[in-house]
């Protein structure tokens, strides 16, 4: 680990981003042959046209490694300078050990490493954890990875869920900079309500995703609207100030409903779920890396992240790029 800083006055910037998705593509047309559905129905209900599937033997740690290496390369940072590795996932390689230490060894890093589970809100929760490490002076560089291999938890006879989920990994490097630069994470706001745990779950005895779609939709629109409005208020921004919203990629109808409620034009909402589906904790960092590579982010841009996942858990974060 690098020497720790003393004092306060630092913020966490996203100094590098990267992502990795499997090569295999499962299209809506192929799903039509597996389950009673149509491409038109899927697109109308979700906005999804295809998703990626991990190859046999391809693990979460494999996808995480490639995404992490790309993020480190973008940051210009060698793995030995990492002070912590955080991995958000609900589909680790195995129950024990965690993906984090496996990734640490593969990278050749020498720092604490752990997994945590916040489902689709994992990346936003991870931003809060990483921010705390950096602002407290405990870390200078933190690697945050969201990775999922959800295709192995999908019931391909259940058309309500099998159309939604895909596999992939996204990663960011968070680095400390003086607060006076004006850049970096400004606020993170998190929430949870375990009373609704059963409406999106993977039971141990069954091992596949079960979901009450209408309830998830309702909670997602309401909770995301609330947490975004709270995060904007805490930051001192209006919706008009936001240059780009990078939300969890669950359902296009959810994104459009939230955009309408918070009064952000649709063109400022980044969406790539038509190509990847819902990759849970990986969805925001995958979308963020693609947005960066497409030139959608400029220095000083005001960026908003928001997500809701099983638990129920949710969160939002504000960032000056």
CATH number at 142 reads 3.40.47.10
How large is the average pLDDT for residues 149-172?
Answer: 95
Active site residue 222: no
Tell me, yes or no, whether 256 lies in a domain: yes
Q: What sections of the chain are H helices per DSSP?
A: 28-32, 39-46, 60-75, 99-107, 122-135, 159-162, 213-235, 252-262, 273-276, 283-293
pLDDT score at 7: 45
DSSP 275-293: HH-B-GGGHHHHHHHHHHH
Task: Check whether residue 171 and residue 196 sit in a common domain.
Answer: no
Task: Check whether residue 196 and residue 71 sit in a common domain.
Answer: no
Active site residue 278: yes
Task: Check whether residue 111 and residue 190 sit in a common domain.
Answer: no
pLDDT band of residue 5 (cuts 50, 70, 90) is: very low
Task: Check whether residue 128 and residue 187 sit in a common domain.
Answer: no
For a pLDDT cut of 90, what percent of the chain falls above it? 96
Task: Check whether residue 173 and residue 187 sit in a common domain.
Answer: no
pLDDT score at 256: 94
Which pLDDT tens digit goes with each residue over 81-113? 999 999 999 999 999 999 999 999 999 999 999
Number of domains into which the chain is organized = 2
Domain assignment of residue 127, given as a range = 10-180
Tell me, yes or no, whether 135 lies in a domain: yes
Sequence-distant (6+) residues with CB within 8 A of 126 are 86, 88, 116, 118, 144, 146, 281
Task: Check whether residue 52 and residue 121 sit in a common domain.
Answer: yes
CA distance 315 to 306: 6
Which of 19, 28, 248, 251 does the annotation list as catalytic? 248
How large is the average pLDDT for residues 303-321?
Answer: 97
Tell me, yes or no, whether 203 lies in a domain: yes
CA distance 56 to 211: 26
How large is the average pLDDT for residues 205-216?
Answer: 94
How large is the average pLDDT for residues 141-169?
Answer: 96
Domain termination residue (choose one: 121, 150, 180):
180
* Beta-strand relationship, 141-149 and 113-116: unpaired
Task: Check whether residue 161 and residue 39 sit in a common domain.
Answer: yes
Q: Mean pLDDT score of the chain, rounded to an integer?
A: 95
Tell me, yes or no, whether 5 lies in a domain: no
CA distance 134 to 176: 6
Task: Check whether residue 225 and residue 176 sit in a common domain.
Answer: no
How large is the average pLDDT for residues 261-285?
Answer: 96
Which pLDDT tens digit goes with each residue over 29-64? 999 999 999 999 999 999 999 999 999 999 999 999
Task: Check whether residue 43 and residue 59 sit in a common domain.
Answer: yes
Task: Check whether residue 171 and residue 23 sit in a common domain.
Answer: yes
Tell me, yes or no, whether 127 lies in a domain: yes
Q: What sections of 192-310 are H helices per DSSP?
A: 213-235, 252-262, 273-276, 283-293
pLDDT score at 21: 98
How large is the average pLDDT for residues 134-139?
Answer: 96
Tell me, yes or no, whether 4 lies in a domain: no
Tell me, yes or no, whether 1 lies in a domain: no
pLDDT score at 8: 59
Tell me, yes or no, whether 2 lies in a domain: no
163 vs 2: which has the higher pLDDT: 163
Task: Check whether residue 106 and residue 230 sit in a common domain.
Answer: no
Domain termination residue (choose one: 180, 214, 246):
180
Which of 120, 141, 162, 187 does the annotation list as catalytic? 120
The continuous run of DSSP H or E covering 185 comes out as strand 184-192
Task: Check whether residue 24 and residue 170 sit in a common domain.
Answer: yes
Domain termination residue (choose one: 180, 198, 232):
180
Which of 20, 111, 162, 278 does the annotation list as catalytic? 278
């Amino acid at each position: 680990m690098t020497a720790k800083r003393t004092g306060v006055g630092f913020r966490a910037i996203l100094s590098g981003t990267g992502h990795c998705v499997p090569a295999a593509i499962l299209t809506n047309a192929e799903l039509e042959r597996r389950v009673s559905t149509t491409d038109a129905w899927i697109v109308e209900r979700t906005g999804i046209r295809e998703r990626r599937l991990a190859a046999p033997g391809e693990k979460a740690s494999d996808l995480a490694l490639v995404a992490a290496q790309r993020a480190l390369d973008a940051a210009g940072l060698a793995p030995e300078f990492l002070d912590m590795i955080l991995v958000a996932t609900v589909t680790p390689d195995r129950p024990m050990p965690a993906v984090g230490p496996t990734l640490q060894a593969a990278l050749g890093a020498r720092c604490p490493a752990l997994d945590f589970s916040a489902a689709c809100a994992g990346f936003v929760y991870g931003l809060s954890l990483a921010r705390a490490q950096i602002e407290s002076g405990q870390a200078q560089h933190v690697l945050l990875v969201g990775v999922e291999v959800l295709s192995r938890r999908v019931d391909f006879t259940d058309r309500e869920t099998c159309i939604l989920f895909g596999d992939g990994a996204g990663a960011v490097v968070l680095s400390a900079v003086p607060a006076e630069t004006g850049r970096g994470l400004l606020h993170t706001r998190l929430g949870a309500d375990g009373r609704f745990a059963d409406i999106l779950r993977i039971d141990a005895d069954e091992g596949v995703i079960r979901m009450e779609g209408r309830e998830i939709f309702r909670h997602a629109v309401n909770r995301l609207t609330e947490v975004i409005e709270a995060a904007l208020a805490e930051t001192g921004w209006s919706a008009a100030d936001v240059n780009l919203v990078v939300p969890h990629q669950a359902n296009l109808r959810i994104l459009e409903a939230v955009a309408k409620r918070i009064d952000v034009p649709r063109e400022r909402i980044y969406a790539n779920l038509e190509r990847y589906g819902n990759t849970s904790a990986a969805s925001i960092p995958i979308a963020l890396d693609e947005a960066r590579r497409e030139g959608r982010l400029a220095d000083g841009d005001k960026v908003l992240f928001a997500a809701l996942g099983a638990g129920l858990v949710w969160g939002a974060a504000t960032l000056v790029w």
